[in-house]
């Protein structure tokens, strides 16, 4: 599951590389764009969190069908990690979640990208529209609380830096009886950084770990 906004662009090549390496090892992979993003139908101002969670739910069904399997792993980056985790809570077919540099809290995310405080109406963040309704949906996300509910899915957190929120999420999962592990792999991880040259971010060490972990399960 992709991140959103400008982070989608920085992550695109990393996802393509991850996809290619997994395919070479015989792993079935499905990448997709949420509604109103990328190549999917809809305008950015029509986007909503419930619709994006429905998109993840659809993608789970699609991969189960095309791969002819009864269980899958779900990987998401930044907001994609949050959407993957929230959509998978009631899906028995999800064997494991891998949350890559996840956005743990919507309020903490907006504190970073909108340090001047909450605006009204639609606001542009690095050229992408975030309507008031979309922001309200994102502000309602706090994985530390939400993932302690629902099915106990084994959850790996793979992070490029040692943020307190990653430790808090892992601790909350363990306290709630959810299997969890946190791996900090020092790597480039500033997905929201504005790059005037449009350079992609491809953290090779993390991609290698993701491939090894997913293909170990396939063996």
Residues 105-163: pLDDT tens digits? 999 999 999 988 888 899 999 889 999 999 999 999 999 999 988 889 999 999 999 99
* Of 10-14, 84-88, 172-176, 214-218, the least confident: 214-218
Q: How far apart are CA 202 and CA 206, in angstroms?
A: 9
Q: What is the pLDDT of residue 194?
A: 59
The answer, as to whether pTM is greater than 0.85, is: yes
Are residues 33 and 5 in contact, defined by beta-carbon separation less than 8 angstroms?
Answer: no
Mean pLDDT within 30-38: 94
- Is 146 part of a structural domain of the chain? yes
> How far apart are the C-alpha atoms of 10 and 33, rounded to whole Å?
15
Q: What is the mean pLDDT of the chain?
A: 92
- What CATH number is attached to the domain comprising 153? 3.40.50.1820
Query: Tokens 């390496």 label which residue?
Result: 21
Domains contained in the chain, number: 1
The answer to whether the beta carbons of residues 96 and 73 sit under 8 Å apart is yes
Higher pLDDT, 215 or 173: 173
pLDDT at 219: 41
3-state DSSP call for residue 126? coil
Asked whether residue 109 is assigned to any structural domain, the reply reads no
Spatial separation of the C-alpha atoms in residues 65 and 194, rounded to whole Å: 38
Give tens-digit pLDDT for 148-183. Answer: 888 899 999 999 999 999 999 999 999 999 999 999
Secondary structure letter of residue 26 according to DSSP: T
pLDDT greater at residue 214 or residue 189: 214
User: Distance of CA 40 to CAs 44, 54, 71, 98, 212, Å?
Assistant: 10, 14, 26, 24, 30
In a domain, 95, yes or no: yes
pLDDT one-digit tens code per residue, 55-98? 999 999 999 999 999 999 999 999 999 999 999 998 999 999 99
Q: Which domain holds residue 87?
A: 6-35+50-102+142-218
Distances (CA, A) of 36 to 42, 46, 114, 177, 212: 4, 7, 22, 36, 32
Which residue, chain included where needed, has tokens 């809809």?
A: 42
User: Does residue 121 lie within any of the structural domains?
Assistant: no
């Amino acid at each position: 599951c992709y991140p959103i906004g400008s982070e989608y662009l920085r992550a695109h090549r990393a996802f393509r590389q991850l996809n290619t390496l997994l395919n070479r090892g015989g792993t079935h992979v499905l990448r997709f764009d949420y509604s109103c993003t990328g190549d999917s139908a809809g305008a950015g101002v029509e986007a909503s969190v419930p619709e994006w969670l429905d998109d993840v739910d659809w993608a789970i069904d699609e991969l189960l069908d095309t791969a002819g399997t009864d269980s899958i792993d779900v990987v998401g980056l930044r907001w994609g990690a949050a959407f993957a985790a929230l959509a998978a809570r009631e899906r028995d077919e999800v064997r494991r979640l891998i949350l890559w540099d996840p956005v743990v809290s919507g309020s903490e995310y907006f504190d970073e990208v909108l340090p001047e405080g909450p605006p009204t109406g639609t606001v542009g963040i690095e050229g992408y529209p975030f309507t008031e309704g979309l922001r309200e949906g994102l502000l309602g996300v706090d994985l530390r609380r939400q993932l302690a509910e629902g099915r106990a899915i084994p959850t790996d957190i793979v992070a490029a830096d040692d943020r307190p929120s990653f430790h808090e999420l892992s601790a909350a999962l363990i306290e709630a009886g959810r299997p969890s592990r946190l791996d900090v792999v020092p790597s480039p991880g500033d997905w929201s950084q504005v790059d005037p040259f449009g350079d992609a971010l491809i953290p090779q060490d993390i991609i290698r770990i993701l491939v090894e972990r997913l293909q170990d399960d396939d063996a």
